[in-house]
Structure 1
Amino acid sequence: MTDAPAVAIVGMSGRFPGARDLAEYWRNLRDGVCSIADFGEEELLASGVDPEELRSPGYVPAKGFLAGADRFEHELFGFNATEAAALDPQHRLVLETAWAALEDAGYDPRGVPEGTGVYVGGGPTEHSVAAQVDRRLRARLGPMHVRIFTDREFLAGWLSYRLGLTGPSMTVHTACSTSLATVHVAVQALLTGECDLALAGGVSIDSPYPRGYLYEPGGIYSPDGRCRPFDEKAAGMVGGDGVGLVVLRRLEDAQADGDQIYAVIRGTAVSNDGAARVGFTAPGVDGQTAAILEAWAAAGLDPADAQFLEAHGTGTDLGDRIEVAAAAAAFAGARCELGSVKSNIGHLNAAAGVAGLIKVALMLAHRTMVPTVNVTRPHPDLDLDATPFHLLTETREWDARVARLAGVSSLGIGGTNVHAVLEEAPPSDRRSPTPSYQRPETSPHRDTSAAPSQSTLADPSQSTLEVPSQSALEGIDPSAGAAPEPGTSAVVLPLSARTQAQLSTAAQRLAAALREPGAPPLADVAHTLAHGRAAFDARAYVVAATHEEAAAALEALTSAPTGTSAPVKDPLGEAWVAGREVGWPSAGRRVHLPTYPFAGDSHGALTLSPQPTAPEPQPEDRAEDRATAVSELFMTTLALSAPSDLDRTYFAVGGDSLTAVFLVSELRDRFGLDLPIETFLREHTLNEIIARALNPEDDDPLGDLLDELEQ
């Protein structure tokens, strides 16, 4: 243990090849699963791969594929369907992953502490490139808006804007070391007081569709679609897609608040190889060694005490030899296991570093080392027997007589090296490592006492609940919570979601988590659900005194009809399902629990593949047909559910300046109608705006606006 300032990882979220969440990610790592996908010819052709490229003898149909990367619950973040389709998939996934990471840390994503910092980075995407050359899209949205929706430069900005985060907001780019560099910058910001809470990590979605690559002898890519870091058969890397974010706090703050800690970041450092390498894309030995030594010096620790190194590990001949040489010089005297997550999921480009960081944090939390897959014997040229390293090829318990310590390295083309030193959480903070993501096989909780429990499920828009009157709620002490049964300590567990189906999913996931060994105390569960989650329209609650009661009541919610109420009601719970603001008790700590069950639609992505040329739309000839088509344009663009919504104003239905530009462009291109954009600034209903578009000769909206401003 060291007294040097440190940073705690208090929340995490990620989606990686073969893993929808971190529970699946951990199981795949623990079980030695290779999640690199192999695609069939028909699948690749259907996804837009050029047939000529596919027929090339060097084409390798493999990738670390991220399923569902084009799905996005746009309503949750204030985007309409048109905007969501234009938004780059990387932006979409970063928004959802940030939401989940904050919830995992026990924070309401819509009520994050003042001054929360954002440090993220992303890779180049096919969607972004295609958007820049899509003349029709640029004509509709304008070049600036296309860039704002698609350029990775705005990843941090969108995150801060949509979640209301007012601290430093930076998009970081250091090529393949990007996401670990964001962690370094965030750690420095926390230790110097620039922020008190930080989100850090990265994303890389080159395309959400199946893709392979062309193998070139002597290049960096593998000829067979598998990555074998440090192995005798190592021949190159395989690309992959993924996203990962961590929530960071200063260690002393996290401990003071009783936060649940995955691992502690003891030190970080960044260096560059400068000109001391054979080429711009080649790594250098001295620069890597310097980054490792500087990080351990910042931690106040001896590199000889390291027990595991998560290497960059691309599986290329030159890269592996240089990395082992650099690390061996830094870790002289250590007895250290060596691994690389790229063997499991491929090289995630800008998200590679955070994928390794999260892997090591999970290993420390579970006290388990996981293997590097696809390997048999170390490459003889590496001479690992003469180094501090042993290539780990099997899962085993992480035994340690002293604190468990690990290093994480990430290297970028261009020479930027990043290293982080991780230590297991202090003993008092080692609580259940990952019950928050469970989709797993469940096991009964030890506590099976049969005290009474109750549950209720309600959607206020459909509910038939007997809502307590204001007089009935007066005099309730919010700190008291539910009135427990004699001899029990029952608590209220509130749930909410955007839809009834998502509410049922949330209840199922929480029930599974509560049945896991080491599930957190119910008082902490209640506290986290009440204070660490956003409130939505579909709501439910259960009252229970044991984990088994709570799990059973939560499972009962999934089959209960909407509006069902428990025979014995809890006043705060009833106020909750009725849609009232409730002053929940504050007796408890933030713990890791299942996060929001996203259920977004597929919004696709732009591609560079040749597409059939669609005929240009022609203006409708008949006036009634044109009026109907214009109304449908407004309904579709603004994602309106009923014609009655056209009686609302533009801003009341979620319109903004960007969508107004799109509508003006569509009216001009499709219908030959010129509608001044100033019309959308007025307090007109949508029907009135449509009428003014169809009958422009009777209206002068700019003149009306100027008259109104003068008055």
Structure 2
Amino acid sequence: MMEKKIAIIGMACRFPGGVEGPDDFWQLLCDERDAVTAIPPDRFGTSFYQHPSKREPGKSYTFAAGVVDDVAGFDADFFGISPREAAQMDPQQRLLLELAWEAFEDAGVRPASMRGRDCGVFVGVAGMDYGNRNMDDMNTIDPYSATGNTLSIASNRVSYLFDLRGPSMSVDTACSSSLVALHQAVRALQSGETAMALAGGVNLLLHPFGFVSFSKASMLSPRGRCRAFDATGDGYVRAEGGAFVLLKPLDQALADGDTIHAVIAGSGVNSDGHSHGGINVPAAATQADLLRAVYRRAGIDPRTLAYLEAHGTGTAVGDPIEARALIDAVSGGRPKSDPLLIGSVKTNIGHLETASGMAGLLKAVLCLKHRAVPRSLHFDTPNPGIDFEGGRLRVVDRFTPLARGDAPLTIGINSFGFGGTNAHVVVTEAAAPTPVAQPAARIDAPLPPLVLTARSPAALAAVAARHLARLQSGADWAALAAAAARRRQWLEHRAV
């Protein structure tokens, strides 16, 4: 019996490279940009903790990272939060509130209309950098410190602020957290436990602990570049950001006339168990088992995949193991003339750790929407530990349009946690809506009004600036005006 399909009806993201939404993200990918820079020196005094040798106690040999702009910025009043409480809130919680609002609006849902609705919240989150910083000075702890720095509240606060009555949970399986959270959301929707769901992940780099710890384990790239599946791959690059998708059962989304970005055709999770080499060494056999199970339950022949967004961290150990699993379960049976296209968004923005699965998912959805896959960066010399030709694998080394066929395009997304929890999701393109005949537009017809709204004059100016930038980059005025009228919550300050 095939699994009940789930529609992605809303998306929001904040990624390195100034990415503030899916359109920005696609542009970054198409521009083939590497957004990795470094942790700003003033964030936690990186110069004090940096040393070229991994053997130096308390030091990291790199602070290369994909960073987001203005991690401290937050309009607390917009969400009805006092300045005192906001100061104690982990910026990850603040970012999730912003992304939830944006995901609702992207779906054409006014956030206020969600009050009391049956909507779940599932968040992949593990980092406690902000709380660790605050514990350096116990005198700063106040009544808001516990709720501000507890992982469970990351999801619960979204449910509270928007008054969402479905399941609310935070998930920590390390790097696979956000795809595991998505899988939990899918299962809740399939079982009828909730009618809608927000699923996502968040990761902000606010403390040196992770850098120092991963440096000691030689997990980070000394050169600060993610070279997935390349012979020179020498480790991963940490990154930060977050994303939410809004989900609804496909049949309900179609009945409601929702815009459907893509369809989740299947998902699954398993564990490596007692793998050889240690708890943080992946296992090809169990990764392959998961892939087979997901495609079997989805009723999809994996040989029909148009593309697979790999975990692809650029590590000497992990990349060949993942490739072995792909060959065994997905690509090995393909004809030589039609290898499986693979790539990794981590080559563009770094590894968002707990939110990395969301970055891979959004890239996959955008590839479906645009029927093309942008180049996977830093792939020059194939990793000799991977049998690309015999295994029918090909890293996307140039912008590649996806062939149109009779069946909807299908893309898989891998995400693996360093403790052995593996996740895989399959997405297909949404069926094109039936065109509705429209009267011919008059050439001299006036443009519709573009109504902007915000909570303060300063916020209104920022909204206007964002819309101006989109218009200057070629966005359609009428489409923006329609979206603003239908989707945005009406707030105190408005401009036309």
State the TM-score, normalized to the length of structure 1.
0.63
Displacement of 1:508 after TM fit? 5.4
Which residue in 2 is equivalent to 1:343? 347
Displacement of 1:180 after TM fit? 0.4
Percent of matched pairs sharing the same residue: 35
CA RMSD of aligned residues (A): 2.8
1:47-81, CA deviations, whole angstroms, 9 ceiling, x for partnerless residues?
Answer: 43264533444522411111211111111111122
CA contact (8 A) 2:43 2:206 kept: no
- After superposition, where does 1:680-699 map in structure 2 within 5 Å? none
Cα distance, 1:236–1:253 mapped onto 2, change above 3 Å: same
- Residue 266 of structure 1 aligns with an amino acid whose one-letter code is A
2:457 equivalent to 1:500: yes
Q: Tell me which of 364, 368, 371 is aligned to 2:372.
A: 368
Displacement of 1:254 after TM fit? 1.3
CA contact (8 A) 1:179 1:201 kept: yes
Which residue in 2 is equivalent to 1:152? 151
Which residue in 1 is equivalent to 2:290? 291
Q: Tell me which of 123, 127, 131 is aligned to 1:128.
A: 131
Q: Tell me which of 60, 63, 75 is aligned to 2:65.
A: 63
> What is the CA–CA distance in structure 1 between the aligned matches of 2:276 and 2:475, rounded to whole Å?
49
CA contact (8 A) 2:308 2:412 kept: yes
Moved over 6 A (4+): 514-518
Displacement of 1:386 after TM fit? 1.2
SS at match of 2:112: coil
> What is the CA–CA distance in structure 2 between the aligned matches of 1:345 and 1:363, rounded to whole Å?
17
- After superposition, where does 1:141-180 map in structure 2 within 5 Å? 141-142=142-143, 145-180=144-179
Q: Tell me which of 77, 80, 85 is aligned to 1:75.
A: 77
Cα distance, 1:520–1:107 mapped onto 2, change above 3 Å: farther
CA contact (8 A) 1:365 1:430 kept: no
CA contact (8 A) 1:69 1:208 kept: no
> What is the CA–CA distance in structure 1 between the aligned matches of 2:108 and 2:477, rounded to whole Å?
13
- Structure 2 gaps of 5+ residues are 55-60
Cα distance, 1:539–1:313 mapped onto 2, change above 3 Å: same
> What is the CA–CA distance in structure 2 between the aligned matches of 1:235 and 1:35, rounded to whole Å?
18
> What is the CA–CA distance in structure 2 between the aligned matches of 1:314 and 1:430, rounded to whole Å?
42
CA contact (8 A) 1:67 1:208 kept: no
User: How many residues of Structure 1 are paired with residues of Structure 2 in the alignment?
Assistant: 479
SS at match of 1:32: coil
> What is the CA–CA distance in structure 2 between the aligned matches of 1:215 and 1:155, rounded to whole Å?
24
Which residue in 1 is equivalent to 2:33? 33
> What is the CA–CA distance in structure 2 between the aligned matches of 1:509 and 1:321, rounded to whole Å?
42
Cα distance, 1:206–1:61 mapped onto 2, change above 3 Å: closer
2:102 equivalent to 1:100: yes
- After superposition, where does 1:104-119 map in structure 2 within 5 Å? 104-112=106-114, 114-119=117-122
> What is the CA–CA distance in structure 2 between the aligned matches of 1:518 and 1:499, rounded to whole Å?
25
The structure with higher relative contact order (CA 8 Å, sep 6+) is 2
CA contact (8 A) 1:110 1:164 kept: no
Cα distance, 1:223–1:265 mapped onto 2, change above 3 Å: same
Which residue in 1 is equivalent to 2:50? 54
Cα distance, 1:75–1:175 mapped onto 2, change above 3 Å: same
Displacement of 1:256 after TM fit? 1.6
Which residue in 2 is equivalent to 1:196? 195
Which residue in 1 is equivalent to 2:87? 85
SS at match of 2:266: strand
- Residue 339 of structure 1 aligns with an amino acid whose one-letter code is G
CA contact (8 A) 2:120 2:168 kept: yes
State the TM-score, normalized to the length of structure 2.
0.89
Displacement of 1:195 after TM fit? 1.4
CA contact (8 A) 1:70 1:208 kept: no
Displacement of 1:129 after TM fit? 1.2
Cα distance, 1:295–1:536 mapped onto 2, change above 3 Å: same
Which residue in 1 is equivalent to 2:58? none
> What is the CA–CA distance in structure 2 between the aligned matches of 1:50 and 1:530, rounded to whole Å?
45
1:180-222, CA deviations, whole angstroms, 9 ceiling, x for partnerless residues?
Answer: 011101111111111121100100012189x966885872111
- Residue 538 of structure 1 aligns with an amino acid whose one-letter code is H
Which residue in 2 is equivalent to 1:404? 409
CA contact (8 A) 1:66 1:208 kept: no
Which residue in 2 is equivalent to 1:660? none
1:455-483, CA deviations, whole angstroms, 9 ceiling, x for partnerless residues?
Answer: xxxxxxxxxxxxxxxxxxxxxxxxxxxxx
